[in-house]
Amino acid sequence: MSLTSTAATHLVTLAEGTEHGGNHESLSPYVTGGGALFALLLLLWITTRFNRDR
């Protein structure tokens, strides 16, 4: 079996989500979304603090 066909087989298995059962139990969408919102607000705050045009 060649490297490309092995990689393609693993990618199909990974895309189907059948290898590890799909979604992880401890991964909450609220925690993920809250963390992303916090990170974006932090980046916005840093950007505005260093914007010293005036």
Check residue 50 and give its pLDDT. 87
Please give the angle made by the CA atoms of 44, 49 and 53, to the nearest 5 degrees: 110
52 assigned to some structural domain: yes
- The answer to whether residue 53 sits within a structural domain is yes
For residue 34, what are the domain limits? 25-54
User: Is residue 39 in a domain?
Assistant: yes
* Tally of structural domains, the chain: 1
Rounded distance between C-alpha atoms, residue 40 and residue 54, angstroms? 24
Per-residue pLDDT of the chain (54 residues; tens, 9 = 90+): 676 778 777 777 666 655 555 566 777 889 999 999 999 999 999 999 988 775
Q: Which residues contact 19 (CB under 8 A, 6 or more apart)?
A: 13
| Predicted pLDDT at 43 | 96
Predicted pLDDT at 26: 76
Residue 10 lies in a domain: no
Q: What is the pLDDT of residue 46?
A: 93
CA distance 39 to 32: 11
pLDDT for residue 45: 94
